[in-house]
Amino acid sequence: MQYAQIILPLNLKGTFTYKVPEELDSKIQEGMRVLVPFGGKKIYTGIVFELHDLAPEDFIAKEVISILDDYPIVPSQQINFWNWLSNYYLCNLGEIYRFAFPSSLKLESETYLKLKPNAVIEFENLDVNEMYLIQALEVRQLINLTDIEAFIPKKEIIKTINSLIDLQYIEIDEKVAEKYKAKEVAYVKVKDEVLVNQNLTEILLQLNRAKKQKELFLNIIEKQTENPDLHIRKSELFEDGYFGSSHFKALADKNLVEEYYLQKDRIESYEGEIEEIEELSEAQKEARIEVDEAFEEKKNVLLHGVTSSGKTHIYLEKIEECINEGKNVLFLLPEISLTKQITQRLEKKYGRQLGFYHQKLTDFEKVEVWRRIKNNDIKILIATRNALFLPYQNLGLIIVDEEHDSAYRPREVSPFFNAKDAALVLAGFYDARVILGSATPSVESYYLARKEKLQYVFLNERFGSVKLPEFELINFKEAQDSKKVSGNFSLQLIDEIKKTLDEKNQTIILHNRRGYASVIECETCGYVNYCSNCDVVLTYHKAANEMKCHYCGQRASKPKTCPKCHSENLNERGVGVEQIHEEISKIFPENEVDRMDVDSMRKKFAYEKLYEKIEDRETDIVVGTQMISKGLDFDHIELVAIPKADSMLYVQDFRAEERAYQLITQVSGRAGRVSGNGKILIQTYNPDHSVFQLIKMNNVTKIYKYFLTERQKFHYPPFTKLIMIELKHIKDDKVNRASQFLGSILRKYLPEDCILGPERAQIARLNNLYQFQILLKLPRGKNYEKFKNLVLLSLKEFDEITAYQSIKKEVFVDF
């Protein structure tokens, strides 16, 4: 007797045991999709996690209804990977399954049934429900589970279906059950017999009275004879509006032409020429050798290359090598909008062997990529973090570009995991290699490299020996004292921009705060406008003329008078990027000043338009939030100014300084990429702050040493492991009590100095939920597992309290 552990797409602990019926016994394999009944009436697509023959003791296992695949759809490496994720990040396998699979591949009760062809039905042996179902199927051929509910009691549905399947009267229609449909494209051609048998001049004579038809016919025949292997798209004929579909139809009616359909990949692939990559510089060659040596020892690499040092060149070399060995490459990016440059280069080289995968694809497009990966049709996949779950057949290399980027571990989507770390583990299961690349590696990765867990490869110079930009600190306090300021800018900063403009070069101004003013306050009574869903002050957006909550998105109109005391003295405080943009536009009225932030880039193609404007040098100054630190590789940006640099440092987060360093360095990389005369102006009240001083010195080793010392001093990662537990509920006192209680359980098992909190979250209420946090600082190394198990035990104990079941609980490992 065989049993299967099944992963269901539910956020429930562990797997579920099902009995494998005899007739499926020889077919079933781990990693296949199966249909299983669950609860009263639901049917889910589950994944076979494990097969065994241990009958469960305290419940009766239900039977697997059917198997959906002929071969495992999830490779064993992926099953291992899921299992690791679930153990390491303390999340459920079901959550991972949901995240990993496009929804068309995990059907729920939409599953269709049909009569088995040639089934001889003996009606006298059927019960009422079975009879109903058979009759319904005779009328309708296909029927889905939701429809069956109309005539069979919910609880009887599964029983009925199972017994009819046992009797071999009905079956699950897999073709219909698969929601995915391939896209077909219409193509046209001149009919074969026309080309073979008929006299062309005669046909053309016939067509003389229909000028357009004749032209169209000639047009098609010309294309076809020019290149007989090329398919002519129907839509292509009508593109310029000269021909209409009626012309084509007339020709078709005369039996001269015909249309035919071909399945088309939903994702357009590159069909242009294929190009060789350029040669490496000396520094790159050295780096490449170091990478090779590390790979030789099966060691992964941290490629630390200063901005525009040409990390991409090294990626390309390694990609090519990997593909030549017959293996596949996964190229991860923090967000898909950054693909532009890398894609262009890879497309030229690899053409149709290149694929893309990210959350913006439609479900069908995802399935298509899924299949192409499964069939090994894609050699290189450029993708975001969710592509870690595709069914790779022989993965050889994973590149994690911009590995420091926080988009690799978004907090909002569950399951919570860091794609950079997960990539290293996934690669391990495939015996593949990993390159983590960044100009500003995360402190954690740098530490791993120092501990020789990763091979550290440093590219210290820009490609073509272009000089790195120069940093200058402007003491804003001094400037203010000597009255050398205009608004938020010192006169020195304004002068530098002027100089850059005079030389016909471009300037970037970074100010990492959205909106116009962060607070609108009544001067008379002190009233400020709060979000009604969150404990957060609304930000004033002048461009949209409204107040916005940056956390839940709520919007309100801007009050003209104080809603409380009706005073008209409303004061704007806290400078946002819109205000910086406004000021700069006023200082340089003759110049083109543009703004780049999520609010101004929301419109379709807004980003592309601005990108082109900057490229064509129509834009003189770009003012923007952190968005401008990515992807803007232009030749004529010479100056980067950061007028309020302090605002980046004083954020309550142990990574704030690291982030500030990364952001400043990334944006500085936009300056002087060609000329080597780039200049970065950092305006601050604290020019003596270590971070600014270290950035100015531009000594990478010292900066990371500083970060590591700070982290060690305050017991933060990478010297400890953090787990953050967040509890949320509508009722403040309820979460408060619950978190106190969880805190006391944790203190029972763990030493006091491991536990911080419970504390109210920085944002006490978000989306109408009050939130409390407990931060655990656990030792790294072999004790970590032991401690984590105690955390798990505590959480289990907490879950036993039924009164707290309604509390939303989230656990962030490696927070």
Partner DNA sequence: AGCACGCCGACT
Partner DNA sequence: GTCGGCGTGCTC
Question: Does the annotation list 565 as a binding residue?
Answer: yes
Going by C-alpha positions, the residue among 185, 237, 195, 187 that lies closest to residue 212 is: 237
Q: Residue 665: how many CB atoms within 10 A of its CB? A: 23
Nearer to DNA, 197 or 805 (CB): 805
Nearer to DNA, 263 or 806 (CB): 806
Alpha carbon distance 511, 664 (integer Å):
11
Asked whether the beta carbons of 363 and 313 are under 8 A apart, the reply is: no
- Minimum distance, C-beta of residue 39 to DNA, in the bound complex (Å): 5
- Minimum distance, C-beta of residue 805 to DNA, in the bound complex (Å): 6
- Minimum distance, C-beta of residue 715 to DNA, in the bound complex (Å): 32
Interface positions with DNA (CB under 7 A): 10-12, 16-18, 36-42, 56, 59-62, 154, 802-803, 805-806
Nearer to DNA, 391 or 415 (CB): 415
- Minimum distance, C-beta of residue 411 to DNA, in the bound complex (Å): 17
Alpha carbon separation from 114 to 104, 138, 142, 155 (Å, rounded): 20, 9, 5, 20
Alpha carbon distance 217, 202 (integer Å):
13
Element (H, E) at 690: helix 690-697
Helices (H) then strands (E): counts for the chain: 28, 36
Nearer to DNA, 18 or 331 (CB): 18
Crossing angle of helices 339-350 and 311-324, in 10° steps, is 40
Nearer to DNA, 644 or 728 (CB): 728
Alpha carbon separation from 439 to 310, 446, 584 (Å, rounded): 10, 11, 30
- Minimum distance, C-beta of residue 154 to DNA, in the bound complex (Å): 5
Nearer to DNA, 683 or 771 (CB): 771
Element (H, E) at 380: strand 380-383
Nearer to DNA, 56 or 244 (CB): 56
Nearer to DNA, 38 or 661 (CB): 38
List the end-to-end C-alpha distance of the chain, in Å, as a whole number.
44
- Minimum distance, C-beta of residue 523 to DNA, in the bound complex (Å): 41
- Minimum distance, C-beta of residue 116 to DNA, in the bound complex (Å): 25
Alpha carbon distance 513, 644 (integer Å):
10
Question: Does the annotation list 549 as a binding residue?
Answer: yes
Alpha carbon distance 644, 476 (integer Å):
9
Nearer to DNA, 15 or 666 (CB): 15
- Minimum distance, C-beta of residue 167 to DNA, in the bound complex (Å): 21
- Minimum distance, C-beta of residue 279 to DNA, in the bound complex (Å): 53
**What residues contact residue 283 under an 8 Å CB cut-off, 6+ apart?**
309, 459, 460, 461
Asked whether the beta carbons of 38 and 8 are under 8 A apart, the reply is: yes
Burial class (CB in 10 A: 0-12, 13-18, 19+), 695: buried
Nearer to DNA, 315 or 804 (CB): 804
Element (H, E) at 547: strand 546-548
Asked whether the beta carbons of 277 and 350 are under 8 A apart, the reply is: no
Going by C-alpha positions, the residue among 443, 446, 512, 812 that lies closest to residue 654 is: 443
Place of tokens 């492991």: 721
Asked whether the beta carbons of 592 and 618 are under 8 A apart, the reply is: yes
Helix, strand, coil distribution of the chain in percent, nearest 5 = 40, 25, 35
DSSP state of 804: G
Torsion of CA 657, 660, 666, 672, to 10 degrees: -110
Tokens of 13: 């602990």
Going by C-alpha positions, the residue among 72, 93, 98, 67 that lies closest to residue 81 is: 93
Question: Does the annotation list 754 as a binding residue?
Answer: no
Nearer to DNA, 42 or 231 (CB): 42
- Minimum distance, C-beta of residue 416 to DNA, in the bound complex (Å): 14
Question: Does the annotation list 91 as a binding residue?
Answer: no
- Minimum distance, C-beta of residue 453 to DNA, in the bound complex (Å): 35
- Minimum distance, C-beta of residue 16 to DNA, in the bound complex (Å): 4
Nearer to DNA, 201 or 802 (CB): 802
Residue positions forming the annotated binding site? 522, 525, 531, 534, 549, 552, 562, 565
Q: Which residues are annotated as a binding site for Zn(2+)?
A: 522, 525, 531, 534, 549, 552, 562, 565
